[in-house]
Structure 1
Amino acid sequence: MVKIVVFDSGLGSLSIIKAIQKISKSEIIYFADQENFPYGEKSQAQLSKIIKNSIKLLDKEFSPNFIVVASNTPSLMLNLTSKKIIDVKPPLKEALKLSKTKQIGILATKSAIVSNGLTQYIKENNFSKKLKIFKINGSDLVDLVESGKFISNKKYCNKIIKKILEQILFQNNIDTITLSSTHLLFLKSLLKKQFPKINFVDPSEIVAKKILLMIKNNQSKKNSLKIFATGDTKIFELKLNKLGIKNKVNLIPF
């Protein structure tokens, strides 16, 4: 049976887990590190310590085949090199295929957009100089998801989405945006409704397909999900219940 650990600082991992379970079968351990939310406001030194400790603990506790770092922020800011580790980065090549104006936005956390890692990642792709990439701070949108407002107060969410995106999109003729925080995938329907002509590119399917190739001949008979968290597990259970997930959340202390 293939065992995959998927983790980030909260609800973001669910978008990746949903995509994985849609096209393959495996045992998934979901770890929500609530105590360190949000990753997007951590320094590189802080984040490095958090992620290294998390990977070490999860590897020791669960002995997984793969560990998915389901957050763009550490994936961009840290050098996560291991055959066992799968990271999530902005799907720029897919965005380029969709864009007609060749003006693309990367919507990510504050830490990610100012990181050297994102600058280097863009350089490594060696895009044409005709392509222009705009880095957009989406930390306030991430908070809308983790706070649960994307369920309880859509009117407020729409107001914040408009405030953050409207001016930069239309002033720069941006027609494609990468959703480069896994939390942002929960806002995709609201984003599409407010900006119907914009392409919002979801990285979760790319990650899921990558995993499928790795486990193709070694899948489990059925999907299973166990959930662990730091912090108040009861509060996190309530958040999950609102999303229709009734699994028990187990405490995993550091």
Structure 2
Amino acid sequence: MTNIGVFDSGLGGLTVLRELVKEKRANYYYLGDNKNIPYGNRTRKEIKDLSKKIVKFLDKKDIDFFIVACNTMSVLALDDLKKYFNKKFISISEAGVKEALNVDGDVFVMATKATCERHFYKEKIEENSNKKVYEVACKKLVDYIESGYIEGEKLDRDLKNYLKLANEKKTENIILACTHYPIIEDQIRKNLLYEANIIDPAKVLSENIKFKESKDTNIEIYMTDANDVTEKMVQKIMNMDISVKQANI
């Protein structure tokens, strides 16, 4: 049996887990640290420390390899995790960069404040192509999604603001560089004034990952704040009746 650890700052990584479950059979152990969200506004040291605590918790499940399903952790903590743990880590951000390099046109990156300040996507894509990369920190979106607010006037107002540059430049590609954002992809499209190719790194990763599949699929989902709103959102995102367990990291 293959045991895979998937982790995120909260609900966002479930978009990765959802795609993985569609593609591959395995034992999946997911941890979302929604108690300490949003990670995008935290310091690099805080993000590194929290990431290590998450991996330590999941590694008790005899994990074969980990998927860092949070862009903020991928760009700020991945190198530390690789040094600290004798495990394989797969980065959601690297999957997003790879796809952006495979398509034509410039790139608009929607991400958290911390991810934007690291300039991971901009540097990797511009170093390896002649594409122009624009970055916008979408500071309120994670809070909206974690609270279950995934449509409405306030969300549309903020999306119009975040997408202003994309609408001005008519950027051919938009990367959802936070795994929370695919949850509101329909609202993002609604507030675009043109047709764009939206890149969801979760789909790219799940379609390209290779490992020895298990006979069946089993899923355990842990959250650091397992409340009613979170459980409803988990079931909505995963499109299945699944209970959420409390994790104390």
Query: Structure 2-normalised TM-score?
Result: 0.87
Q: Report the equivalent of 1:107.
A: 110
Deviation at 1:15, TM superposition (A): 0.7
> Helix, strand or coil for the counterpart of 2:204?
helix
SS of the residue corresponding to residue 140 of structure 2 reads helix
What does residue 126 of structure 1 align with?
Answer: 128
CA 1:169–1:230 in structure 2 vs 1: closer, same or farther (change >3 Å)? same
In the TM superposition, what are the counterparts of 1:211-250 in structure 2 within 5 Å? 211=209, 213=210, 215=211, 218-243=212-237, 244-250=239-245
8 Å Cα contact 1:77/1:116 also seen in 2 = no
**CA distance in 1 between partners of 2:51 and 2:76 (Å):** 11
Amino acid at match of 1:204: A
Q: Does 5-14 or 171-180 show the bigger shift? A: 171-180
Whether the 8 Å contact between 1:103 and 1:172 is mirrored in structure 2 is: no
Separation (CA, whole Å) in 2 of partners of 1:127 and 1:83 = 31
Aligned counterparts of 1:104 and 1:88: Cα–Cα separation in 2: 17
Give 1:96 deviation, angstroms.
Answer: 4.5
Structure 2: tracts of 5 or more residues without a match: none
Secondary structure of the 2:63 match is: coil
Cα 1:98–1:127, aligned 2, differ >3 Å: closer, same or farther?
A: closer
Separation in 2 of the partners of 1:209 and 1:84?
A: 18
After superposing the two structures, state which structure 1 stretch, 168-177 or 11-20, moved more. 168-177
Partner of 2:134: helix, strand, or coil?
strand
Change (3 A) 1:47 1:178: same
- Cα distance between partner residues in 1 of 2:97 and 2:122: 13
Residue-by-residue CA offset, 1:161-203 (whole Å, 9 max, x unaligned): 11211x2123333221111000011111222233251111111
Task: Give the 3 Å change call, closer, same or farther, for CA 237–93 of structure 1 in structure 2.
Answer: closer
Cα offset for 1:238?
Answer: 3.2
Report if aligned partners of 1:77, 1:118 keep a CA contact under 8 Å in 2: no
CA distance in 1, matches of 2:247, 2:116: 30
- How many aligned positions are there? 241
Q: Give the conservation status (yes or no) of the 8 Å contact 1:237–1:246.
A: no
5 Å matches for 1:32-111? 32-59=32-59, 61-78=60-77, 79=79, 80-81=81-82, 83-89=87-93, 91-99=96-104, 102-111=105-114
Which runs of 5 or more structure 1 residues have no equivalent in the other structure? none
The amino acid of 1:17's aligned partner reads L
Is the CA contact (8 Å cut-off) linking 2:33 and 2:224 kept in structure 1?
yes
Equivalent AA in structure 1 for residue 152 of structure 2: K
Deviation at 1:241, TM superposition (A): 4.1
